[in-house]
Amino acid sequence: MPEWDVPHVLGAALAEGRLAFRDRARLERHQDALARTHLRWVLPRSPATADRFRAAGLPPERWRELPPVGKPWMMAHFGTLNTEGLTLEDVLRVGHAAERSRDFRPTVTGRSGEVVVGLSTGTSGSRGAFIVSRAERLRWAGVMLRHLLPGWPRGLLTPQRVAFVLRAEGGLYRSVQHRWLDLHFFDVLRPVEELAAALTAYRPTVLVGPPSVLRALHAAGATARPARVVSVAEVLDPDDEAALASAFGSVVQVYQATEGLLGLPCAHGHLHLNEAHVHIDLEPLGDGLVRPVITDLRRRAQPVIRHRLDDALRLHPQPCPCGLAARRVQAIVGRQDDALLLPGRAGNRLPVWPDVLRGVLADVRGLREYRVTQVGPHALILDLDPCTPDMAADATRAVHAALNRVGVDSAPLTLSTQSLTPLPAGHKRRRVTRAWTPPEVP
């Protein structure tokens, strides 16, 4: 069933060329123009969005000042937020049924026609439901094509095979096939050896997947020489980047969330915010980290306006040699609630960002994989692979030294080590997580 609409996808891909702004002021004028058109369309159709402007006493043109909302608000107002006339119950029912049957294209019929449903995993059990219209999928495919196809536009002259190794939630944008462009989806819940053999046989020209899954496929014997490896859905640590580059070839990163396509690589392979389509405000979190508040200037089925994400990013201090005006991301550090909260030497509770520990643990010789979990106010568990006594001692020493450097009081701290059990297939790898919540934080 070809739903692949070539003129639309190519149109979106070609339009991207005109959206590569080099001048910041021009980029911002473009965002303002998009926002005006977008809000004129959304406000009469999305009562929940109109209510936000009313409650804040703001006219549409002052959208940048609208107080941010998050996923809980979005789920609580799903029925009056979306413009497809769908209820949250309908969408969740379709999403859950699809997960059980491993059907990757769960759809419901909305006002604009066929709408794809995706469920996001959430911390502390809060799942998000997301819908994407056909027009939105086609645009997404065009934008991805433009940014990921090697040697655009010459890349179109040779047949391209794009392998997506994704979890169920990646199905939100599952598009399709055409004679010169084949998109193939590999289900991460298949046994890894089987998946590795299928990937090798497919001979992808572009390979897209979470770094932990791509590394596992390589370890299971997958061989491929794609022109580009694209890391999605998980933090790409420098050790992942090095391992994937030597396994498959050069690696770029896409910053895609269910809330939107937030970052894309430039011609130099560096990650930039997708500011031609999404307005992104960055709230400081301390330690040079920022948290995005996004306004998707295109998305109509489920408007994403002044929506606060849980991600912590670090911007690159240097401008990119490519000359794009869109800001450059140095690292997606992880989710904000993955930051450990440890006793500081001043008697305070100190946030420790995941990259502090990932940096030192990547340097422990012979350590293949690890997980750090905070399980109590002073208690950390280190899951190590391999977990020999020497490895446990080295890793413990490295963690203590890193924590010491950032001002953690190591006296009350307990650090226990154990052997790492692999995550069940399909689970997102998070190397550093906090499983304990301080009582006073809601």
Cβ of residue 320: shortest distance to Zn ion, in angstroms? Answer: 3
369-376 and 432-434 as β-strands: parallel, antiparallel, unpaired?
parallel
Report which of 33, 60, 34, 36 is spatially closest to residue 49, judged by C-alpha positions.
Answer: 60
Burial class from Cβ neighbours inside 10 Å (0-12, 13-18, 19+) for residue 102 reads exposed
Nearer to Zn ion (CB atom), residue 74 or residue 266: 266
What are the residues binding Zn ion (CB under 5 A)? 266, 268, 270, 320, 322
Nearer to Zn ion (CB atom), residue 331 or residue 367: 331
Nearer to Zn ion (CB atom), residue 252 or residue 408: 252
431's CB contacts (< 8 A; 6+ apart) are 235, 237, 354, 357, 358, 361, 370, 371, 372
Nearer to Zn ion (CB atom), residue 253 or residue 433: 253
Cβ of residue 148: shortest distance to Zn ion, in angstroms? Answer: 15
Cβ of residue 323: shortest distance to Zn ion, in angstroms? Answer: 7
DSSP letter (8 states) at residue 300: -
Cβ of residue 26: shortest distance to Zn ion, in angstroms? Answer: 17
Cβ of residue 21: shortest distance to Zn ion, in angstroms? Answer: 12
Nearer to Zn ion (CB atom), residue 24 or residue 268: 268
Nearer to Zn ion (CB atom), residue 270 or residue 371: 270
Number of other CB atoms surrounding residue 279 within 10 Å = 22
Cβ of residue 214: shortest distance to Zn ion, in angstroms? Answer: 23
Biggest distance spanned by C-alpha atoms of the chain: 64
Nearer to Zn ion (CB atom), residue 195 or residue 320: 320
Backbone angles phi, psi at 100, to 5 degrees: -65, -40
140 strand-pairing partners: none
Long-range (24+ apart) CB contacts under 8 A made by 267-272 are 267/322, 268/320, 268/321, 268/322, 270/316, 270/320, 270/322, 270/328, 271/328, 271/329, 272/320, 272/324, 272/326, 272/327, 272/328, 272/329
Cβ of residue 205: shortest distance to Zn ion, in angstroms? Answer: 22
Nearer to Zn ion (CB atom), residue 328 or residue 335: 328
Nearer to Zn ion (CB atom), residue 48 or residue 264: 264
> On the CB side of 189, how many CA atoms lie within 13 Å of its CA?
10
CA distance 345 to 360: 21
Nearer to Zn ion (CB atom), residue 232 or residue 266: 266
Contact indicator for 142, 13 with CB cutoff of 8 Å: yes
Report which of 339, 345, 340 is spatially closest to residue 410, judged by C-alpha positions.
Answer: 345
Q: Residue 272: helix, strand or coil by DSSP?
A: strand
Cβ of residue 41: shortest distance to Zn ion, in angstroms? Answer: 32
**Lookup result for tokens 């109590």:** 376
Helix (H) or strand (E) holding 385: strand 379-385
Cβ of residue 331: shortest distance to Zn ion, in angstroms? Answer: 15
Cβ of residue 295: shortest distance to Zn ion, in angstroms? Answer: 23
78's CB contacts (< 8 A; 6+ apart) are 86, 87, 88, 91, 129
